[in-house]
Amino acid sequence: MSAPPVGAVGREHPRLEGRDKVTGAARYAVEYPVADVTYGWAVPAAATRGRISRIDVAPALAVPGVLDVLHHGNAPRLAPGVDRTLFLLQEPAVHYRGEFVAVVVAESIEAAREGARLVRIDYDTEAHSTVLSEHHPGLYRPEKVNPSFPTDTADGDFDAGFAAAEVRVDATYRTPAYHNNPMEPHATTAQWADGRLLVQDSNQGSSPVQATLAQLFGLPQESVRVVAEHVGGGFGSKGYAKAAVVLAALAAKQVGRPVRLALTRQQLFGPVGYRTPTIQRVRLGADADGRIAAVCHDAISQTSTLHEFTEQSAVYTRSMYAGPHRRTTHRVVRLDVPTPFWMRAPGECPGAYALESAMDELATGCGVDPVELRVRNDPTVDPERGQPFTSRNLVACLREGARRFGWADRDPTPGARRDGRWLVGSGVAGSSYPARARAAAAAATAAPDDTFEVRINATDIGTGARTALWQVAADALDVPVERVAIRVGDSDLPPAGVAGGSMGTASWSWAVIRACEGLRDRIRDHPGGAVPAEGLTVEVSTADEVRAQPARPRYAYGAQFTEVRVDADTGEVRVGRMLGVFAVGRVVNPTTTRSQLIGGMTMGLSMALHEEGLLDERYGDWVNHDLATYHISVCADVERIEAYCLPEEDPELNPAGVKGLGEIGIVGTAAAIANAVHHATGLRVRDLPIRLDKLL
């Protein structure tokens, strides 16, 4: 018997702010009471590529309550930055349909909306190109892929290894555009006073948003304050400053009053970033026992004419399975489309769909069980970098998942199980996500009454981050959690990085622990070992410590198991069971951990069966722009879902011993479902989503 946990870390706890959220006491970006506030409404371009030739704002200004209409001809000037996507209302050029070209500001939201409807814009249009294809003449090799991985890699001799293999898979997988739909849209309240800009903004990192606004508006960083206390999700789309905050700040400057601006649900489909469509060719060559000799993953994606963003889809394949002959490539094309950006596990998510599907095809080709195939190809060192992993528990996840799922009884023959009109099948996929950490600063204060306050500009986008940090802080201070208060979500707090890349808790807990340790030392060293009336504060940065961390391969792992049934007559797919087993380092809070993992898995189900941005080439835009036409899985789509974490201690990670877990839940899930559909029907669908018409 192991001893029960003595501290706060490892214990279930509901979100600290949960009650405030459900009672409406928690303020989101456009809910702060602000005197003299006005409302902004963004106007999207109705052309795909070209220039604004004429803009007539008179009908909009005639609406009672409309104060102003901002556009390229009159808006305050911005300093062009790295990402031209944010250079809004500065020039007449239109780069994609839906790009924001004007903002109406009014005394009421209704007047702003009506004014936006009445802004008359004429365009000189040019021919556009908006459809991704492997034959597009504009495909090129980018310098790097998101965020800074090498574009291509090669080891051994793939062509020779593949040609000599006994069993070969050569398959091309396609994924459509996917759109981030957080509950809270991108939304901002902006106000200027004495040359300083204050924004309450819905984002995943106030420190980076502060830096971007300072750059765009030519201000010193300390003249910009960004508050993001409560954020209703982001999935990556709020990882950097986006249109809403820039437009709100421009509008507030123009009218000299505070402005609230929230994008509509429809306006999220494109301008805030989306997951690029991908075309991925995967080739696997193996011996008759399924041992991989050659692996190649060629990924194609799109970016915009404004800014290069290349989804790193093939990077997953660089470290996942063994094999001496390897190659990965990325190619991208600039289309007249919005700039794609992060969406939960950019790279790993589409990449794992392709590789884990190909692994299933290889299992079938070799006649090897797909769990066993993955076990056989588990590398002892990182296959490209040659270094040992800090910890790698993929095999343990596969074994534990197989046991819990009841995999051993599975008849591998496709179409062998039938339950009335349903064809029943099961599938598996591996899963991994990098365990990163970035530098952060944090402060901890002790009060004479033995209470403590910990401050860090972390962002809690609904994941439970502030609760996890509070638990970590209590243990680092060695006091009961009740004596600790945590403050996050304000650029006036010690700076910290983005809630993204599944590195929030790892990065922030590092700084929190160091600040709390420093504070304990300070209290101990203080004369009498007591806290003086004015309190004691320690602020630290982990910059040096994080930089000194040896570069070793660090990943979280998982195994995803699913059972599906397919209606033999209609092709309808239902997911009866999803089961994931994950190795994510130490689990700080089992409650919020489970929520993150099953949330990611549900989003993977959504990707497999429902989500699809349908582009109409004539207009160069997606035709499904809302939650009625862009289908996202709901609770009723998930009949039984389970997520388990293996105990995992990895002392090389960070002081809290955590690996990120916000994204791994979506990695491999779509492949596990596609593989189960193949097992149920014998049909291999290689272009998502698996709509019923593809199964008939």
Number of alpha carbons in the 13 Å side-chain half-sphere of residue 429: 35
Minimum Å gap between C-beta 25 and ligand MOS is 26
| 642 given a catalytic annotation | no
CB closer to ligand MOS, 88 vs 461:
461
Nearer to ligand MOS, 309 or 452 (CB): 309
- Site stretch for ligand MOS (CB under 6 A), options 34-42, 164-172, 341-349, 624-632: 341-349
Measured torsion, CA atoms of residues 461, 463, 467, 470, in degrees rounded to the nearest 10: -70
Nearer to ligand MOS, 40 or 233 (CB): 233
The smaller minimum CB distance to ligand MOS, of residues 40 and 504, is found at: 504
390-411 residues labelled b (16+ CB within 10 A) or e (exposed): bbbbbbbbbbbbbeebebeebe
| Strand partners of residue 233 | none
- Segment 126 to 165, residues that bind ligand MOS, using CB under 6 A: none
Segment near ligand MOS (CB under 6 A); pick from 17-25, 92-100, 338-346, 635-643: 338-346
- Residue number, 283 or 659, with CB nearest to ligand MOS: 659
- Cα angle value 541/547/550 (rounded, 5°): 135
How many Å apart are CA 412 and CA 343, to the nearest integer? 34
**Residue 208 binds ligand MOS, judged by CB under 6 A:** no
CB of 244 to ligand MOS, least distance (A): 17
Where are the extended beta strands (E) located within 410-460? 417-419, 422-434, 441-446, 452-455
CB of 630 to ligand MOS, least distance (A): 18
Q: Using the rule CB under 6 A, which residue among 343, 446, 474, 540 binds ligand MOS?
A: 343
Place of tokens 């963004």: 42
Q: How far is the CB of 308 from ligand MOS (least distance, A)?
A: 18
Q: Which residue in the list 184, 348, 361, 663 is annotated as catalytic? A: 663
SS3 content of the chain, % helix, strand, coil (to 5): 30, 25, 45
Q: Is 117 left (phi over 0), alpha (psi -120 to 50) or beta?
A: alpha
Q: Does 176 bind ligand MOS (CB under 6 A)?
A: no
User: CB burial class (10 A; 0-12, 13-18, 19+) of residue 554?
Assistant: buried
Instruction: Quote the least distance from Cβ 388 to ligand MOS, whole Å.
Output: 26
CB of 275 to ligand MOS, least distance (A): 9
Least distance in angstroms from the C-beta of 239 to ligand MOS: 5
Q: Which of 346, 350, 430, 657 binds ligand MOS (CB under 6 A)?
A: 346
# chain residues binding ligand MOS, by CB under 6 A: 11
Dump the DSSP string for 204-260. S-HHHHHHHHHHHHT--GGGEEEE-SS----TTTTSS--HHHHHHHHHHHHHTS-EE
Site for ligand MOS in 562-601 (CB under 6 A): none
Q: With respect to ligand MOS, which residue has the nearer C-beta, 231 or 428?
A: 231
Torsion of CA 486, 490, 492, 495, to 10 degrees: 80
Helix count (H) and strand count (E) of the chain?
A: 15, 30
Residue type, 249: A
Comparing CB distances to ligand MOS, the nearer of 433 and 557 is 433
The CA–CA distances, whole Å, from 340 to 146, 168, 191, 310 equal 11, 33, 29, 8
Q: How near is the Cβ of 462 to ligand MOS at its closest, in Å?
A: 12
Q: Could you give phi then psi for residue 518, rounded to 5 degrees?
A: -60, -40
| Residue 208: CB minimum distance to ligand MOS, A | 12
Q: How many residues does the chain have?
A: 696
Closest to ligand MOS by CB, 228 vs 250, is 228
Complex with ligand MOS: residue 204 or 509, whichever CB lies closer: 204
Is position 501 an interface residue for ligand MOS (rule: CB under 6 A)? yes
**Both ends of the chain: CA-CA distance in Å?**
54
- Nearest residue to ligand MOS, by Cβ distance, number only: 236
How far apart CA 694 and CA 674 sit, in angstroms, is 12
In the complex, minimum distance from the CB of residue 398 to ligand MOS, in angstroms, rounded to a whole number: 25
CA 466 to chain centroid, in Å, comes to: 18
Q: Is 344 in the site for ligand MOS (CB under 6 A)?
A: yes
Is there binding between residue 342 and ligand MOS (CB under 6 A)? yes
Supply the minimum distance, in Å, between the C-beta of residue 94 and ligand MOS: 27
- State the number of CA atoms in the 13 A half-sphere of 598 facing the CB: 18
Distance from C-alpha of 515 to C-alpha of 508, rounded to nearest angstrom: 11
Q: Considering only residues 630-689, where is the footprint of ligand MOS by CB under 6 A?
A: 663
Nearer of residues 343 and 397 to ligand MOS, judged by Cβ? 343
> How far is it, in rounded angstroms, from Cα 406 to Cα 642?
13
Coil, strand, or helix at residue 377?
coil
Which residue, 227 or 666, has its beta carbon nearer to ligand MOS?
A: 666
**605-632 residues labelled b (16+ CB within 10 A) or e (exposed):** bbbbbbbbbebeeeebbbebbeeeebbb
> According to the binding rule CB under 6 A, does residue 434 interact with ligand MOS?
no
Stretch that binds ligand MOS, among 158-166, 287-295, 339-347, 542-550 (CB under 6 A): 339-347
Q: Running DSSP on this structure, what letter comes out for residue 140?
A: B
Query: Tokens standing for 500?
Result: 């993204």
Please name every residue paired with 66 in a beta bridge, in sequence order, or none if there are none: 106
Site for ligand MOS in 221-260 (CB under 6 A): 235-236, 239
- The set of residues, in sequence order, having a beta carbon less than 8 Å from that of 443 and lying 6+ positions away, is 454, 455, 456, 493, 494, 515, 537, 538, 539, 540
**What distance separates the 2 farthest-apart alpha carbons in the chain?**
80
3-class state of residue 583 by DSSP: strand
Q: Which of 149, 53, 193 is nearest to 436 (CA)?
A: 149
* Residue window 507-536: x/- pattern of binding to ligand MOS, with contact defined by CB under 6 A: ------------------------------
Q: Which of 351, 383, 495, 500 binds ligand MOS (CB under 6 A)?
A: 500
Least Å distance between CB 661 and ligand MOS? 12
Q: Name the minimum Å distance from CB 539 to ligand MOS.
A: 27
Continuous segment of H or E residues that includes residue 562: strand 555-567
Give the active site residues: 663
Return residues touching ligand MOS (CB under 6 A). 204, 235-236, 239, 342-344, 346, 500-501, 663
